[in-house]
């Protein structure tokens, strides 16, 4: 089985954005060292435009070949006129309201989200599935998340959009697999789920 990895940017207090989901305050940490790391280690998870900006638009996929995001997150690209924001990946958007996909490279999942994700995980591929967020779809898929990669920015939000929206209280244990700290105070931690 390949993994579903939720890779997400968070404040120190665990919010993925302000109450509306906006995380632009984190952009102030995009310095040379950190951007270099994103370009070399996380190119798969960058939108097409960012890959282009960093000169890695032709980089082969090394960790992921598939992305899943919620409709509200996809809307942010649509608002900028971008219908295929992660052109290097197979793209799925969860939505019960988008009846037709705006792009032939983006498939809408309207029903049985968990079942569809399980089927994707069961596919024979060396590369994993990138759960991009946001909060709502992450909450809906919490039981399916096999790996967490948290890009933790040294900012406290006080309140905001949680990492897993709408999830019921339940303790789930994860095992720390790597930590990388940067000069700007950003820390990237990776965890595998204990099954």
Alpha-carbon distance of 89 to 64, in angstroms, equals: 8
Q: How far is the CB of 124 from ligand NAP (least distance, A)?
A: 25
Q: How far is the CB of 165 from ligand NAP (least distance, A)?
A: 5
Q: Identify the CA nearest to 155 among candidates 20, 22, 45.
A: 22
Considering beta carbons, is residue 126 or 182 the nearer one to ligand NAP?
A: 182
Residue 62 CB neighbours (<10 A): 13
Q: How far is the CB of 99 from ligand NAP (least distance, A)?
A: 10
Task: Please report whether residue 106 would count as binding ligand NAP according to CB under 6 A.
Answer: no
- CA dihedral 117→118→123→128, nearest 10 degrees, is 60
Task: Please report whether residue 72 would count as binding ligand NAP according to CB under 6 A.
Answer: yes
Among 21, 47, 85, 160, indicate the residue that binds ligand NAP (CB under 6 A). 21
Map the footprint of ligand NAP across residues 29-68, applying CB under 6 A.
none
Q: Quick one: which segment of 50-58, 122-130, 135-143, 183-191 binds ligand NAP (CB under 6 A)?
A: 135-143
Helix (H) or strand (E) holding 107: strand 106-109
Alpha-carbon distance of 5 to 2, in angstroms, equals: 10
Considering beta carbons, is residue 97 or 126 the nearer one to ligand NAP?
A: 97
Task: Please report whether residue 140 would count as binding ligand NAP according to CB under 6 A.
Answer: yes
Please give the structure tokens belonging to residue 157: 């939000």
The full 3-state SS of 110-144, as one line of letters, equals CCCHHHHHHHHHCCCCCCEEEEEECHHHHHHCHHH
Residues that bind ligand NAP in the complex, under the rule CB under 6 A: 8-9, 16-17, 21-23, 69-73, 76, 94-98, 110, 113, 132-137, 140, 161, 165
């Amino acid at each position: 089985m390949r993994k579903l990895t939720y890779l997400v940017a968070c404040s120190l207090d665990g919010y993925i954005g302000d109450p509306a989901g906006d995380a632009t305050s984190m952009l102030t940490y995009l310095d040379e060292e950190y951007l270099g790391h994103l370009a070399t280690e996380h190119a798969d998870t960058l939108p097409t435009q960012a890959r282009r900006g960093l000169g890695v638009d032709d980089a082969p996929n090394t960790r992921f070949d598939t992305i899943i995001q919620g409709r509200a997150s996809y809307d942010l690209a649509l608002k900028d006129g971008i219908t295929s924001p992660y052109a290097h990946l197979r793209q799925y958007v969860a939505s019960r309201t988008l009846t037709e996909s705006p792009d032939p490279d983006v498939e809408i999942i309207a029903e049985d989200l968990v079942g569809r994700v399980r089927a994707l995980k069961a596919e024979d591929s060396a590369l994993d599935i990138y759960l991009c967020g946001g909060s709502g779809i992450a909450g809906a898929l919490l039981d399916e998340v096999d790996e967490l990669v948290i890009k933790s920015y040294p900012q406290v939000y006080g309140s905001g959009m949680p990492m897993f929206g709408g999830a019921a209280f339940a303790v789930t244990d994860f095992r720390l697999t790597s930590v990388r700290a940067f000069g700007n105070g950003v820390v990237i931690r990776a965890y595998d789920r204990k099954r």
